Amino acid sequence: MTNIYPPKRILMGPGPSDVHPRVLQAMAMPTIGHLDPVFQRMMDQSKDYLRALFKTENSLTFPISAPGSAGMEACFVNLLEAGDTAIVVRHGVFGDRMRENVIRCGANVIVVDAVWGTAPDMALVEDALKANPHASVLAFVHAETSTGVEADAGALCGLAQKYNCLSIVDMVTSLGGIPVDVDGWGADAVYSGSQKCLSCPPGLSPVSFSEKALNRIRSRKTPVQSWFLDLSLVMNYWDGEGGRSYHHTAPVNAMYGLNEALAMHMEEGTDNVHARHRLMHTALVAGLEAMGLSMLVDASCRLPQLNVVTVPEGVDEGAVRAHLLAHYGLEIGAGLGPLAGKVWRIGLMGEAARASNITVCLSALGEALNLQQHSADTGAALSAAQAVLAG
């Protein structure tokens, strides 16, 4: 057998993001039982951290022992039954995954589309709610990872309440990168992932459910189709202070890592974290534009933590990414769906949102473009980014 020694990468793609050594060190602590009193105290601490980060008082706020896709599925399988109707706002790949979840629940789906790279149109969403008064769920992606677009979560949750729907909100890329306000928006079911702006390894999905959502679950006529994700069972493990019942063997060491990542977030301060993401984004965009590149998304709805850059005409975008990885150990993302081959996705998530990463990214990108005879002024790019950082 041959041991594998992963190289040190700079992760500036759509996820996972760079992980701080403190988090990796925490994950190397001794494994203890998932019902051990010490571990249960850490579970309570993680729940408190997540409530603060989500800005909610929801009792059922915890990390599901699986990646963000499982958090998504947990929301849909618990809140929908066969024959229900859900309205899904789709402005990228992950809105379409929401649609797939509705279908697999045996429910009816009404899709409200937006052009990729643009924000959802509130008037179209409201028209769909008016036309489907029997709909029980409105689902949307707050930060669409495939396009770099931020949806107006407060307005969409407001529409859900106005038309007596529960809201399901994808916060996989938003949590820890831009402000979220579960209680202020009145969001009913939200899910995220550990590997994006929380800068923790993949494998856990923080979720939170309102009392309205829990009442819907309690009043179900049929069992939840997934045993593992049935919240009526899971909540008995997560929602009892010191008296939890066994449901599954939680990933103890992964939980250590998440707890440490959340602690580091609280130490820096949520407002400071958001400001850091915004500053690094502004510096990166200044550098990219000085290099002659353009952003796909209008500044009014552009995510700071996921930057979608248009590939110049005649440039082999895959060769550029390969050069960055081979010569700089730098990973950036390709486009998905209709944007495949047309954009790069550059992540500034969590630990990746650092000035040193911006310098490496701009230098490497300029070199790769010049190798393809596409003129890129790397010096101008670095000066523009530095001017933002210095200011």
**What 3-state class would DSSP assign to 170?**
strand
Residue 335 has a pLDDT of 97
DSSP letter for 57, please. Answer: -
For residue 276, CA distances in Å to 193, 233, 273, 285 come to 20, 39, 5, 14
Query: What is the token pair recorded at 128?
Result: 């769909």
Distance separating alpha carbons of residues 101 and 79, to the nearest angstrom:
11
Residue 162 CB burial class (10 angstroms; 0-12, 13-18, ≥19): exposed
What is the value of pTM for the model shown?
0.96
Query: What is the token pair recorded at 115?
Result: 């052009």
**Torsions phi, psi of 206, nearest 5?**
-60, 135
Helix (H) or strand (E) holding 238: helix 231-238
Distance separating alpha carbons of residues 194 and 49, to the nearest angstrom:
13
- The dotted CATH code for 269-390 is 3.90.1150.10
CA 212 from chain centre, in angstroms, equals 24
DSSP letter for 178, please. Answer: S
191-194 contacts, C-beta under 8 A, 24 or more apart: 191/64, 191/68, 191/71, 191/72, 191/74, 191/75, 192/68, 192/71, 193/15, 193/67, 193/68, 193/71, 194/63, 194/67, 194/68, 194/254, 194/257, 194/258, 194/261
Nearest to 208 by CA among 30, 321, 71, 335: 71
Radius of gyration of the chain (CA): 21
Distance separating alpha carbons of residues 296 and 339, to the nearest angstrom:
10
Residue 1 has a pLDDT of 61
Domain ranges across the chain: 21-266, 269-390
Distance separating alpha carbons of residues 298 and 49, to the nearest angstrom:
33
Q: Within 13 Å and on the Cβ side, how many CA atoms surround 11?
A: 18
pLDDT digit string (tens) for the chain, length 391 residues: 678 889 999 999 999 999 999 999 999 999 999 889 999 899 999 999 999 999 999 999 999 999 999 999 999 999 999 999 999 999 999 999 999 999 999 999 999 999 999 999 999 999 999 999 999 999 999 999 999 999 999 999 999 999 999 999 999 999 999 999 999 999 999 999 999 999 999 999 999 999 999 999 999 999 999 999 999 888 777 765 545 677 888 899 999 999 999 999 999 999 999 999 999 999 999 999 999 999 999 999 999 999 999 999 999 999 999 999 999 999 999 999 999 999 999 999 999 999 999 999 999 999 999 999 999 999 999 999 999 999 8
122-131 and 153-162 are packed helices; what angle lies between their axes, rounded to 10 degrees?
Answer: 20
Question: 198 near 176, Cβ under 8 Å?
Answer: yes
Q: Vertex 131, ends 127 and 135: CA angle to 5°?
A: 105
CATH topology of domain 21-266: Aspartate Aminotransferase; domain 2 (3.40.640)
Residue 228 has a pLDDT of 93
